[in-house]
Amino acid sequence: MLEITGLSVNYGTIRAVRGISLTVARGELVSLLGANGAGKSSTIKCIAGALKAAGGSIVLEGQDITAANPEQVIRAGLATVPETRDVFPDLTVAENLMLGAYIHRRDQAGNRQNLERLHTLFPRLAERSNQPAGTLSGGEQQMLVIARALMARPRVLLLDEPSLGLAPAIVERIFEMIETLKKSGLTILLVEQNVNQALAVADRAYVMRLGAIVASGTAEEIRSGSDLSAHYLGG
Ligand SMILES: Nc1ncnc2c1ncn2[C@@H]1O[C@H](COP(=O)(O)OP(=O)(O)OP(=O)(O)O)[C@@H](O)[C@H]1O
Ligand SMILES: [Mg+2]
Could you tell me the CATH number of the domain that includes residue 125? 3.40.50.300
Burial class of residue 22 in the structure, from the number of CB atoms within 10 Å of its CB (0-12 exposed, 13-18 middle, 19+ buried): buried
Give the H/E segment covering residue 41.
Answer: helix 40-47
| CA 66 to chain CA centroid, nearest Å | 17
Cα(138)–Cα(48) distance, integer angstroms: 23
pLDDT tens digit string along 188-213?
A: 999 998 899 999 999 999 999 999 99
Task: Give every CB contact of residue 20 below 8 A, 6+ residues apart in sequence.
Answer: 4, 6, 7, 8, 39, 43, 56, 206, 208, 211, 212, 213
Ligand 1 atom 11, closest CA: 16
Q: Flag whether pLDDT at 50 surpasses 90.
A: yes
Mean pLDDT of 37-66: 97
Return the number of other C-beta atoms located less than 10 Å from residue 130's C-beta: 9
Range of the domain at 11: 2-233
Q: Flag whether pLDDT at 49 surpasses 90.
A: yes
Q: Flag whether pLDDT at 156 surpasses 90.
A: yes
Q: Flag whether pLDDT at 99 surpasses 50.
A: yes
| Beta bridge partners of residue 57, listed in sequence order | 5
| Beta bridge partners of residue 34, listed in sequence order | 208
Ligand 1 atom 28, closest CA: 37
CA 112 – ligand 1 centroid, Å: 38
Q: Flag whether pLDDT at 234 surpasses 90.
A: no
Mean pLDDT of 127-131: 96
- pLDDT above 90 coverage of the chain, percent: 91
Confidence of residue 227 (pLDDT cuts 50, 70, 90): low
Domains contained in the chain, number? 1
Mean pLDDT of 118-132: 94
Mean pLDDT of 106-127: 94
Residue to substitute in 7, 10, 11 for testing ligand 1 pocket (most ligand atoms within 8 angstroms of CB): 11
Cα(215)–Cα(46) distance, integer angstroms: 21
Residue 235 has a pLDDT of 40
The chain-wide mean pLDDT, for the chain, equals: 94
Mean pLDDT of 86-103: 96
Confidence of residue 177 (pLDDT cuts 50, 70, 90): very high
Residue of 103, 111, 105 lying closest to 71 (CA atoms): 103
Q: Flag whether pLDDT at 229 surpasses 90.
A: no
